Structure formats: structure tokens, C-alpha cells
Structure 1
Amino acid sequence: MLPDTITKYLASHTTRDADTAMQSYAENAEVTDDGKTYRGRDEIRAWFGSAASEYTYTSELIATRKIDDTTYVATHHLEGDFPGGTVDLDFTFTLEDDRIVRLVIA
């Protein structure tokens, strides 16, 4: 089971609701996606608004796991018109004070 912070974030990620998603992040948060790291809320908001926007896809949460008291993984299966057509991505979250301080998508 994922903490509420992550569950709410994933719901806002799915609906592309940047305002709600940004409430989940700490001020000093970092996101790494596709080999690039975005630091702070301004960079993360810009990434959030443009990430995967050139593709149409569906996403299904297929697994979750707790690594330790602050780290959780949510695995999503994506299918769409991106190169390869299908992929399973791990969203690895690190939390601090109920806020996301780090998210790595790989």
C-alpha cells in the first residue's frame, strides 16, 4: 500500500493536474526522468507540463512495493504510440515529512 501523498500524486499525474501534483513535492525536490534531473518546483512544474506530451498512451498501475520507511516503488505499464509501443516504468519515490523529495522514473 502506498502512502496518501503518492496515491494523490499518481492520480494527478494521470489526469495531468499540475497544481495538485505540485502540492505533493517538497520545495527542494528532484525528479529524474529519461536521464535528466529537474530540481526545485519551477523545473519540476515545467517537466510535468511537457513530459510525454508528444505521445498518446494508457497507463496502468501494476505493482507497488515498499523499499524502506521513506522509499516506495509504483510500477506502471504503458501502451501507446511511443517508440516500442509498451513499457513498464518504475516510479521510485522518496518521501520526507509526507512530501516527495525525490522521484526517479526508469
Structure 2
Amino acid sequence: MSIKLPKPIADYVGANARLDVDGMLKPFAADAVLLDNGKRFEGLAEMRTLLEEAVVGAKAIFAPDSVRHENGRVVVEGPAHGDFKGSPIRFTYGFTLEDEAIKVLEITA
């Protein structure tokens, strides 16, 4: 199933499919926040460390299969496959966009 994602989110998902950390960070605002299962990462430097370890290190590729708009956020759901315990795991990504950039990303499993 093909779903239509806003450009910053589509760019993030496309870069994730290539395990490209620079590409994954590009659509984020400089002061963006990433919340990953309750842990908070502020700014691109902290987010880079998380993405290098948890995403690239585990070869975790998110494959969104649904999208909806909810309370000012774009909520994208789908499985992530990779070299990690329980793969694949279904994730929910809640994106808050501002000025054509990702301002907040909240990831829950």
C-alpha cells in the first residue's frame, strides 16, 4: 500500500530506508526534539547519536502503512524490521511539523 506523507516525513522515511543518518536529520528543525519510548533527545547532536546507535546500528527500517492527522500531529504507523529483538515491531511515529520541518517526533512501540 502506498501512502501520501508530507515532504519532511517522506524525506525522513526515505533516508531511514537507506540507513542514511544525515538524510534522516535533514528534515528536522535545528531545535527539534525526539521522544523515543519516554527518553528525550534535544537538538540534532543528541538525535544523531540515537539514530546512529538505535537505527543504523540495528539496521532498523520503518515501513509506514498508515497515516492520519490527529491533534495537530501527523501520526504514522507501521512495522520496523532490523537486527533487534522482536523484529519486526510495530511502531507509531507522531510528527509535529513547523515551517516545513519536523519540530517534534514521538516514537512509541
> Do they fold alike, i.e. is TM over 0.5?
yes
Which residue of the partner structure matches residue 82 of structure 1? 84
Q: What is the TM-score of this pair, normalised by structure 2?
A: 0.81
Which residue of the partner structure matches residue 9 of structure 1? 12
CA distance in 2, matches of 1:33, 1:57: 14
5 Å-filtered alignment, 1:1-106, equals: 1-55=4-58, 59-68=62-71, 70-106=72-108
Alpha-carbon shift at residue 83 of structure 1 (Å): 2.8
State the identity %: 28
Q: 2:42 is matched by which residue type in structure 1?
A: R
RMSD, aligned CA:
2.0
CA distance in 2, matches of 1:58, 1:42: 21
Structure 2 counterpart SS, 1:27: strand
CA distance in 1, matches of 2:107, 2:45: 18
Q: Is contact 2:19-2:61 (8 Å) kept? A: no
Q: Determine which structure has the larger strand proportion and give its number.
A: 1
Alpha-carbon shift at residue 11 of structure 1 (Å): 0.7
Alignment length (residue pairs)? 105
Q: What is the TM-score of this pair, normalised by structure 1?
A: 0.83
Where does structure 1 lack aligned partners over 5 or more consecutive residues?
Answer: none
Alpha-carbon shift at residue 59 of structure 1 (Å): 4.0
Where does structure 2 lack aligned partners over 5 or more consecutive residues?
Answer: none
Q: Is contact 2:33-2:104 (8 Å) kept? A: yes
